[in-house]
Amino acid sequence: MNKFKSFLRYSYIIVILLLLYIPIFFGLIYSFNEPSAKGVFSVTTWNRTSWSAYKELFSKSHSLAFVNSFLLGFTTSIIVIVLSLITVFALWRQKNRTIRTFVQGTSNIPLINPDVITGLTLAIVLNLIFIGTLKATNEGFFRAIIAHSVMCLPYGILIMLPKSDKFSKNIFEASQDLGYSKFKTWFKTYFTYMLGTIGFTFVITMTLSFDDFIITRIVSNTETLGTQLYEGQFQAWSLAIGAISLIIVIFGNTIYAAYKTGQNARNKKLSMAKINSKVK
């Protein structure tokens, strides 16, 4: 009976993943479909194999939006990683349940808030408080960075917090006993321990920033791939973005799976070596 329940549980997960990824795989295939003579792109009829969607994606008409998206996502990711890392480390050091509850509660607000409400609130705050480069009359790239950082910061905190809670205080104290300064100890122990989660946070933040349209459009006039994608009609280059994203996800998951498999194998060897040494 337990085996049957386990089979149903894993089958359900597989079915859900297939329903999510099969349309994306079809998008990957049809991203190589050439538009008709009138420039109409179809996902039902196959004309012939072509790289026109990818050529259009990297053409001059999208080059500025691509650079803006990359710079915005990269800058936002760095800011979110730094702030999230400081926050979760402070929570780990403090062990204060009231502060933890407050941080987790406030972090959940942007997650459940509609993007329209978040965007309007940020636009009002930025217009009332800041001047100069953050004025609404400018293109507002710095406004977009602030807005995306506010949007992505809760995700960074919630991703890093479970990993941070498992960090052993003994390792930190042992490093200080060896004569390392607090700053060097932090880098040698805590930062190294959090590297995998930092990389995952970077990927998630970049993805959220690339995909955002509502907050970017409300807060600033910055042109990104997200704004071009959602403002215009369906184009072939939008499938090219999906195809590239799918390849990146598959590649990243493969590297992560290989890393975890190797790590588990090393841990198993160490455990066996300890057992053998005790037996001898």
268 shares a domain with 136: no
Do the domain assignments include residue 191? yes
| CA distances, 193 to each of 57, 113, 167, 197, 203 (Å) | 38, 32, 8, 9, 18
263 shares a domain with 217: no
pTM of the complete model: 0.76
Do the domain assignments include residue 18? no
Q: What is the pLDDT of residue 197?
A: 87
Number of separate domains in the chain: 2
183 shares a domain with 100: yes
CATH number assigned to the domain comprising residue 171:
1.10.3720.10
Do the domain assignments include residue 168? yes
258 shares a domain with 214: no
**Three-class SS state of 95:** coil
Q: What is the pLDDT of residue 82?
A: 94
Residue 137 in contact with residue 230, Cβ under 8 Å? Answer: no
Do the domain assignments include residue 91? yes
> Which residues span the domain enclosing 159?
54-235
**Three-class SS state of 112:** helix
C-alpha closest to that of 76 among 160, 129, 133, 150: 150
Residues 6+ apart with CB under 8 A from 138: 221
Residue 119 in contact with residue 215, Cβ under 8 Å? Answer: yes
- Could you read off the pLDDT tens digit of each residue along the chain, which spans 280 residues? 567 677 777 787 788 878 877 877 777 777 777 766 665 566 666 777 777 777 777 777 777 888 888 899 899 999 999 999 999 998 888 877 777 778 777 777 777 878 788 888 888 887 776 654 445 445 578 888 888 898 889 899 988 988 888 888 888 778 777 777 778 888 888 888 888 888 888 888 888 888 888 888 888 888 887 787 777 666 677 777 777 777 777 777 788 778 778 777 777 777 776 666 665 5
141 shares a domain with 80: yes
